[in-house]
Amino acid sequence: MDVIPPPAPILDGPHQPGITDPQWPLEPPVPLSDEHQERYAFERAGRVDPQSFLTVVPANLAIQTAAELRDVLQSLSGFVRAQMLRRPDNNHIPVLRSLPETWRVTVTIGLGASVFISASGDDRFGLRHAKPRWLRIMPPVTGDDYRPADHATDLIFLISSDHPYVNVSIARALSQGNWGVAGVKEKRIVVTSVEQGFARPDRREFLRFDDGIDNLSNALDGELDRFVYVTADDGEPDSAVGGSYLAYRKIRENLPHWEAHAQRDQEGMIGRHKASGMPLSRQTMGVSKMTPIFPDPKDASDGPLTAHIRKVQPRRSGPDLLGVHDLDRRFLRRGYPYFEGLDAAGDIQSGLLFLAFARDLRKQFEWPVLNWQTNPDFPVKGIGIDALYGRGVLTNIAGGYYFCPPAPRNEDKFIGSGMFA
């Protein structure tokens, strides 16, 4: 395919960078052949173009007062802004080695429920009134090998760029306290872990299936932004408008167990053909015909009823009992594979750093997970949960819920400043 320069992050928009950007424009930035024009429309137009590396940094606040919290958020906002505006440094670059114009750095800050209400129910910083409506401690679900309450943190940082050293540098500064006033180490946050993932250009992950084939796109009636960002009509605090909920999970993949299954069995668990990514359904739709059609959610002729793509999005034709269409419960996925070598037993430690962004956490994430994916009686009583979890391929080993406030509106504001109004 023709070489197209990758899109740059949106650093001056109303939303925090690193959620729905960098984003490919709706029209190709350079002329393309008819064949490549069709591929661009399916693979790129209006879609997020993930940077090459992701670093997830959960942290807790080591402060006591609202004034201290305000100072911390203001200082952090200045720090991450400076990191995103930095140009690649040509110091110590070997002769004849060229640098790109940008490493496409984004740093997204998320707030946990404990910022607003402590585990004991206290209004910790006097911000209960500003708590996003659906933000809480992530509930445990089938497939968890951890207690979400034990992993919940006050903050989370999502560092993305096209160079791993950039991510490492920012993560080190956050963990060592080198992010505040020059020359002053600020240990007002305590980093609890650092997780590192990467993106493959072909979008495949360790299960060797394409990841994110049917992800949200602004090419379809602006659905990407519409499904991700809180609006003034959502009954949220004013300070949450323009922000987004984040559901983060670290998912371990049992590769020896997975690879012991024949390809046909693997395809049945996913719901797609391995080589092409085409759905197993008899009918398809959309550009390149990659979107399945399930005329009858209880008919296994269109793929096993416990197949992953059927359990997370059944695509029924009408609204449910609450008057909500299945397709209105979609969310943006930004998954990055991770690899951590061997564990103590000699088994490979690898999987997916799973990021889900949604405008309504309850409607778009919890409902599909609790009522479809992990419900053994959906769509048929006794059918079982999502095959990837039910057959021991996937296990959730860390994660939590967060809210990513909107970006500062001007230089006098900072991430989360609206909560103090």
How far is 178 from 171, CA to CA, in rounded Å?
10
Would you give the distance in Å from CA 87 to the centre of its chain? 26
Res 411: pLDDT: 79
State the chain's mean pLDDT as an integer.
92
User: Which residues touch 323 (CB under 8 Å, ≥6 apart)?
Assistant: none
Please state the φ and ψ torsions of residue 371, each to the nearest 5 degrees. Answer: -95, -20
Torsion (CA) 78, 79, 82, 86 in degrees, nearest 10: -170
Closest CA relative to residue 80, chosen from 43, 110, 56, 107: 107
Cα separations (Å) of 93 from 89, 131, 172, 183? Answer: 8, 47, 22, 27
How far is 259 from 199, CA to CA, in rounded Å?
21
Q: Is the pLDDT of residue 146 over 90?
A: yes
Q: Is the pLDDT of residue 32 over 90?
A: no
Res 185: pLDDT: 59
Res 96: pLDDT: 66
> How many beta carbons lie within 10 A of that of residue 304, not counting itself?
19
Please compute, for residue 238, the number of CA atoms within 13 A of its CA located in the half-sphere on the CB side.
Answer: 5
User: Which residues touch 86 (CB under 8 Å, ≥6 apart)?
Assistant: 105
Q: Is the pLDDT of residue 213 over 80?
A: no
Out of 3-12, 123-132, 187-196, least confident range: 3-12
> What is the three-class DSSP state of 234?
coil
Q: What is the DSSP letter of 232?
A: T
Partners of 191 in the beta sheet?
59
Average pLDDT over residues 187-202: 92
Count of all residues that appear for the chain in the document:
421
Angle in degrees, 0-180, between the axes of helices 66-85 and 164-176, rounded to the nearest 10: 160
Per-residue model confidence as pLDDT tens digits over 155-166: 999 999 999 999
Res 182: pLDDT: 54
Q: Is the pLDDT of residue 335 over 60?
A: yes
Residue 97 — very low, low, confident or very high, per pLDDT cuts 50/70/90? confident
Please state the φ and ψ torsions of residue 249, each to the nearest 5 degrees. Answer: -140, 140
Per-residue model confidence as pLDDT tens digits over 254-312: 999 999 999 999 999 999 999 888 999 999 987 678 889 899 989 999 999 999 999 99
Res 2: pLDDT: 58
Token pair 């129910």 is found at 121
Q: Is the pLDDT of residue 1 over 60?
A: no
Closest CA relative to residue 393, chosen from 234, 276, 269, 286: 269
Average pLDDT over residues 159-188: 85
Res 280: pLDDT: 93
Res 181: pLDDT: 58
How far is 144 from 206, CA to CA, in rounded Å?
20
